[in-house]
Structure 1
Amino acid sequence: MSEESPHPRIDTSVPHSARVYDYWLGGKDNFAADRAVAEATAKASPGVVQGARDNRAFLGRAVRHIAAQGVTQFLDIGTGIPTQGNTHEVAQDAYPAARVVYADNDPIVMLHARALLKGTPEGRTSYIEADLRDPDTILKHPDLLETIDLSKPVGLVIVGTLMFIKDHEDPFGLVARYSAALAPGSYLAISHVTADFAPKLVGASADAYNSEALAFTPRSGEQIMRFFDGYELEEPGLVPVFDWRPDAPVSRDPQDAGAYGVVGRKL
């Protein structure tokens, strides 16, 4: 694609996690700075590309499971650049009248979202350009309040995003604020990078990925469980992301996993 920015507020010289992820998934909505980070990370840790695909597949399975429990509203934070199997597609396939709000802090994500994420006539899909670190902006946004009824159960999807929230930014407190706004019977779906299975590879990946502009923080399973205070985990609990309710039997070594996947129901 052209290296010219399609939007005046997009700085193509600075890598962004959504565009790096897009490159790993085979997308075209990325720039030279994003590709440099993506290729360096993949060289240091070749499994990262498969990990991105595993993460995307987990998103679809988690949303499908939550929809099967009767939840018809979803809030997807850290949307990423649209590709196949987006949250609204999975939810509205199960329930055509499902209502979905997307939030992301990258202008290029919202640019593509508004153009490409068209829902069913019966349902509704809204888009908010906002940062996970600012819960009030998202939870009080008029588009969210017009789309989602927070007095009823919601599926909160934060997939492949929380590792970009540094410890000093209090990721656990941020998720707790979103959880507090949800009605009992809501669901939380999270995938998160971990070094529990392959510390050397994940460490090499972090070294290649992290820079002044971009960084991720792997967290242990014990730490990830803190996001689920006040939730009851859905089976099979906290597992390698590719092993969460797979569509077919999985015979991969857990050491191939660079992330956990987990879904919980709010009590």
Structure 2
Amino acid sequence: MKHCRDGNPARKGSDDGSQEPAGGDVPFDTSRAHMARVYDFWLGGKDNFAADRAVAEQVAAAYPDVLVADPGAIVSRLMDAVPPGSYLAISQIASDVAADEVAEGVQRYNAQAAAPGAARSQAEVCRFFAGLELIEPGIVQVHRWRPGTGDLGGGRNLAIYAGVGRKP
């Protein structure tokens, strides 16, 4: 296994299927696709490998509308394809927390980004978990999802939802 210590372990290496540290010394296998990197490829990102690009192209060929479909339909299709016991984790910009600030921030981001972002309400985020068993505490603001002893929000009301669901 290769180890890189340049501060960016996930990008050091090649598409040859070798394992790379993914933070600390936890390896990940670049020869196996990962949905986050597949999505990165679809969005025109740079943080993906040959296996991710191959799966992205196969999915797009099998489901030509996958890149234009609504996000809920994409999540549903992806969860249909994974075995029972698989998990879905989502973090999402909230449209119903600090709504004016969030709307302005999303607008500024979208004016400069190649792939636009969207804020969603808690109810909209909940729809992504249809048919899944929500892990406690459910869909909550990220700093309230299993908070530890530290104050991750710094006393602020963070406008990001987080949730984890398990496919039965």
TM range (shorter): 0.5 to 0.7
Question: 2:15 corresponds to which residue?
Answer: none
Could you say if the C-alpha distance between residues 217 and 107 of structure 1 is closer, same or farther in structure 2, counting changes exceeding 3 Å?
closer
Return the alpha-carbon distance in structure 2 between the equivalents of residues 227 and 176 of structure 1: 7
2:30 pairs with 1:129:
no
Return the alpha-carbon distance in structure 2 between the equivalents of residues 178 and 253 of structure 1: 35
2:146 pairs with 1:245:
yes
- Given the alignment, which residue of 190, 203, 210 partners 2:90? 190
More helix by share: 1
CA contact (8 A) 1:236 1:245 kept: yes
Equivalenced residue count is 144
- Could you tell me the TM-score, scaled by structure 2's length? 0.65
Q: For structure 2, which runs of at least 5 residues remain unmatched after alignment?
A: 1-6, 13-19
Return the alpha-carbon distance in structure 2 between the equivalents of residues 107 and 223 of structure 1: 26
Question: 2:166 corresponds to which residue?
Answer: 265
- Could you tell me the TM-score, scaled by structure 1's length? 0.43
- Given the alignment, which residue of 93, 105, 109 partners 2:47? 109
- Given the alignment, which residue of 210, 224, 227 partners 2:110? 210
Question: 1:220 corresponds to which residue?
Answer: 121
Q: For structure 1, which runs of at least 5 residues remain unmatched after alignment?
A: 1-27, 30-80, 115-125, 140-164
Could you say if the C-alpha distance between residues 107 and 223 of structure 1 is closer, same or farther in structure 2, counting changes exceeding 3 Å?
closer
Aligned-partner SS, 1:260: strand
Q: Shift in Å at residue 231 of structure 1?
A: 0.7
CA contact (8 A) 1:192 1:259 kept: yes
- Matched AA of 1:238: I
Aligned-partner SS, 1:222: helix
